Structure 1
Amino acid sequence: MVIEKSDFGKFQVGYKDSFTREVTQSTVDSFVDVSGDVNPIHVNEEYAKTTRFKKRIAHGVISASFISSLVGLKMPGIGAIYVSQTLKFRAPVFIGDTLTVTGEVVERDEERKRIKIQTDVTNQDGVLVTTGHAVMMHE
């Protein structure tokens, strides 16, 4: 299998990319297995009914992990290192939501081979659920 590094020159200010993924029960179960986070708001329907959300919500960091897929595989992708990420969780994500992860290059440092990416995650209704900035360093 041939793995090609991404072309740093492609990622100019204004470049955008995105993908869509559904948050399933399996997604939440896998995250619980990896993280050990069994907060009842995520795993117990009866408890969740007593909260302001009235049903279970997915872990906020699941939407952030989708950002990792965007920057690690698409922009800039192979040959890049995640340097930093800021996050704001703006709205809950529910099991069954379909999330669109969008990145846009907002800064470029040619000398250091770094790009700063505005990262936004919206649900199927267009509601912004997670926002922030990623800084990526290209090899």
Structure 2
Amino acid sequence: MGERHLCNDKNFDEIKVGDKVEFYENIDMNRHVKFRDLFEDFSPVHNDKFIAKRTNYDDVIGYGFMLNGFLSRLYGEYLPGGTSICIKQESNFRRAFYIGDTVKIVGKVINKIESTKFLVIETKMYRNSDELIFTGKGIVQIIFDNFNSIK
């Protein structure tokens, strides 16, 4: 795999309440199967069309915890990016998503705690850009104030 480059190398003081980022991820069958196989979750609601059609869903639904995985990318590459760790994550799975959907991931800084270098980040995700499927709040701590200073 190739090396990824950080999209944000701001130090704590440069990050402001109200800073916001968004990016998009496509949920294809390959990604769905990789998640299933990695975590060994073969639940019928995620893998059996016949069972899924007997529920309130039209098709097999995507794995909700895959959405949490996108938060790792949000915090690690975009907001704040660099050398930060997630201390706490609140996750609310509001609606289902499906294979073939595009998920928009949005993060917005809603608070900064100077003494601990914690950022409180509101997270939302949308199915096909407009249907809210996830809300949450993360607390992220910046470990190093400037990623480039440790290279």
Q: Structure 1: which 5+ residue stretches go unaligned? A: none
> Equivalents in 1 of 2:125, 2:14: separation in Å?
23
Following superposition of structure 1 onto structure 2, how do residues 49-60 of structure 1 map, counting pairs within 5 Å? 49-60=53-64
The TM-score with structure 1 as length reference comes to: 0.93
Percent identical across equivalent pairs?
A: 28
Asked whether 1:124 is paired with 2:124, we answer no
Residue 25, structure 1, aligned to residue 23, structure 2: no
Which runs of 5 or more residues in structure 2 are unaligned?
144-151
Query: What does 1:1-139 align with in structure 2 at a 5 Å threshold?
Result: 6-139=10-143
In 1, Cα distance between equivalents of 2:78 and 2:127: 20
* Aligned-residue offset at 1:6: 4.2
Q: What's the TM-score, normalizing by structure 2?
A: 0.86
Aligned amino acid, residue 79 of structure 1: T
Aligned length: 138
Q: CA deviation at 1:125?
A: 4.7
Higher deviation after alignment, 97-106 or 28-37:
28-37
